[in-house]
């Protein structure tokens, strides 16, 4: 299941990241000399500070029955996952999928089933590249925490410190005569954005949809979150968003929306680098995640999984081009780096990122965050705003506060997913990383929801009992 990468590909990856950092540096020449010098050092040092050199491509060891057994998994029960996924392919409910499971940093399960492009006859492969949509949020949230650790951002900072347009925001409050536009009672903070408690939706709500659509957001941007076709920088879009009313007062409700896209602009303003360059130089580069991009290099086009849509009769069909289907991740303008939903990646790359978090911020000698910072991110910060079913929300993730609230996941597990049906979870008690990837929008199957249960039923050497 290995797919070796030769030295020319590694050099090409480094040149690509160098180019992004150089372009970002050229946009910041008007900034203080110390910042420009720091960025220049990044370029001279091949993209990263000396303590975090770019790592070669991470190639997980192929799982084996012996490895799975040593990590507490039943080989016989793991086979159930194979049968389970294949049944959905055979029933024409999904085109294909990739599942990857790690325990204690070792790969215990990795399977690709079905088709990466059914019409073209291209099989799904373990290194298939997927549009990960809202799984991008975790990576952008880590970027914010890196800047917090450097003293450039504080959780209590008002967003207006970085984007002045947010100094005075409004809310579309319900009233007897329809929505009334009223001032926000307080400033929106970085913490509000990380926890989705700023009152900012994706603009598809009936009371604001027409206002958002008129400014190219909400219904005019796919399902609200899609910006890959925008021929403008993300900060321009987020400044325009600030002129629109939100749907709840800051801190009073959990409202899922553009919050992390705004944080992507904060990363740019606080670091002096474009979001793609910052993530490449500080997260994906150090971790060796060479297949994680905002826009896919043309040479990797054949590895991009095709998007399908669930049909009313339980089947699936190829999704159209555009925002509600294949998208502009190869041939788009390549100008909008959406921190909330813009990345493409592989199961292997994303598992590497999750393993870093599971380890308390470091993997294989590369430290991204301090252990206390990861713990802060994985702690519930919203009380019962997400509901009273034992789930909370931290700084970028859903958290499990009570066993049974998320299937068989342990307390303190954290997770999220993406609009195309992909999902992930980190279970610190079991030292477990679970990644499941499909490309289906809308997805009406229960495959992503059931996959983690199939993983846990195979874990017989568990520390949770």
Q: Which tens digit of pLDDT belongs to each residue from 138-165?
A: 999 999 999 999 999 999 999 999 999 9
Region 305-330: mean pLDDT is 95
Report cis status (omega within 30 of 0) of the bond before 148. Answer: no
Contact 115, 95 (CB under 8 A): yes
Greater confidence, 351 or 46?
Answer: 351
- Name the most confidently modeled range: 2-6, 48-52, 143-147: 143-147
What is the pLDDT at residue 225?
A: 94
Contact 47, 285 (CB under 8 A): yes
Residue 57's pLDDT band (cuts 50, 70, 90)? low
Contact 203, 209 (CB under 8 A): yes
**Residue 445 CB partners (closer than 8 Å, separation 6+):** 88, 93, 94, 310, 421
What is the pLDDT at residue 451?
A: 98
DSSP 165: G
Q: How far apart are CA 257 and CA 263, in angstroms?
A: 12
Q: What is the reported pTM? A: 0.87
Q: Is the pLDDT of residue 59 over 70?
A: no
Region 23-38: mean pLDDT is 39
What is the pLDDT at residue 177?
A: 78
Q: Is the pLDDT of residue 24 over 60?
A: no
Per domain, the residue ranges of the chain are: 7-47
Q: Would you state the structure tokens that stand for residue 424, as one six-digit string? A: 């992930």
What is the pLDDT at residue 1?
A: 40
Residue 465's pLDDT band (cuts 50, 70, 90)? low
Cα separation values, 379 from 142, 283, 395, 457, Å: 14, 21, 8, 26
Q: Which tens digit of pLDDT belongs to each residue from 362-413?
A: 999 999 999 999 999 999 999 999 988 999 999 999 999 999 999 999 999 9
Cα separation values, 97 from 374, 427, 442, Å: 29, 22, 15
Percent of the residues in the chain that have a pLDDT greater than 90, as a whole number: 82
Region 235-241: mean pLDDT is 98
Residue 6's pLDDT band (cuts 50, 70, 90)? very low
What is the pLDDT at residue 464?
A: 61
Cα separation values, 416 from 316, 337, 406, Å: 24, 20, 11
What is the pLDDT at residue 147?
A: 98
Distance of CA 420 to the CA centre of its chain: 12
Beta strands in 82-193, from DSSP E residues, in sequence order: 96-103, 106-117, 122-123, 130-131, 170-173, 180-183
**Residue 42 CB partners (closer than 8 Å, separation 6+):** 21, 25, 48, 49, 281
């Amino acid at each position: 299941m290995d797919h070796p990468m030769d030295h020319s590909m590694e050099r090409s990856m480094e040149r690509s990241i160098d180019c992004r950092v150089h372009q970002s540096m050229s946009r910041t020449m008007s900034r203080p000399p110390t910042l420009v010098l720091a960025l220049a050092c990044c370029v001279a040092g091949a993209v990263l500070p000396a303590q975090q050199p770019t790592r070669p491509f991470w190639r997980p060891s192929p799982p084996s029955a012996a490895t799975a057994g040593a990590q507490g998994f039943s080989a016989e029960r793991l086979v159930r996952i194979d049968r389970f996924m294949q049944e959905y392919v055979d029933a024409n409910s999904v085109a294909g999928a990739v599942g990857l499971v790690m325990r204690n940093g070792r790969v215990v399960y990795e399977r690709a089933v079905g088709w990466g492009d059914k019409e073209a006859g291209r099989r799904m492969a373990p290194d298939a590249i997927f549009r990960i949509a809202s799984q991008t949020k975790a990576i952008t949230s880590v970027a914010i925490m890196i800047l917090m650790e450097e003293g450039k951002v504080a959780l209590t900072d008002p967003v207006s410190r970085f984007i002045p347009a947010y100094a005075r925001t409004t809310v579309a409050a319900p009233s007897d005569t329809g929505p009334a536009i009223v001032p926000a009672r307080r400033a929106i903070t970085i913490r509000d954005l990380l926890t989705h408690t700023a009152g900012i939706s994706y603009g598809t709500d009936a009371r604001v949809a027409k206002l958002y659509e008129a400014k190219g957001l909400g219904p005019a941007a796919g399902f609200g979150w899609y910006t890959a076709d925008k021929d403008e920088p993300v900060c321009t879009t987020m400044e325009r968003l600030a002129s629109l009313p939100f749907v709840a007062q800051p801190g009073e409700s959990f409202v899922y929306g553009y919050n992390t896209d705004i944080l992507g602009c904060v990363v740019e303003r606080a670091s002096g680098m474009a979001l793609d360059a910052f993530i490449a130089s500080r997260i994906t580069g150090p971790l060796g995640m060479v297949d994680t991009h905002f826009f896919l290099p043309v040479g990797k086009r054949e590895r991009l999984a095709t998007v399908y849509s669930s049909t009313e009769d339980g089947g699936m069909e190829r999704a159209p081009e555009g925002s509600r289907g294949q998208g502009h991740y190869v041939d788009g303008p390549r100008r909008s780096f959406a921190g909330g939903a813009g990345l493409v990646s592989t199961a292997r790359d994303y598992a590497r990122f999750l393993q870093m978090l599971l380890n308390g911020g470091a993997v294989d000698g590369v430290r991204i965050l301090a252990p206390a910072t990861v713990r802060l991110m994985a702690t519930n910060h919203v009380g019962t705003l997400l509901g009273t079913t034992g789930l909370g929300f931290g700084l970028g993730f859903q958290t499990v506060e009570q066993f049974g609230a998320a299937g068989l996941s342990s307390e303190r597990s954290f997770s999220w997913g993406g609009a195309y049906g992909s999902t992930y979870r980190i279970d610190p008690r079991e030292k477990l990383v679970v990644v499941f990837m499909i490309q289906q929008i809308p997805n009406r199957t229960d495959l992503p929801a059931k996959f983690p249960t199939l993983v846990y039923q195979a874990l017989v050497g568990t520390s949770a009992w």
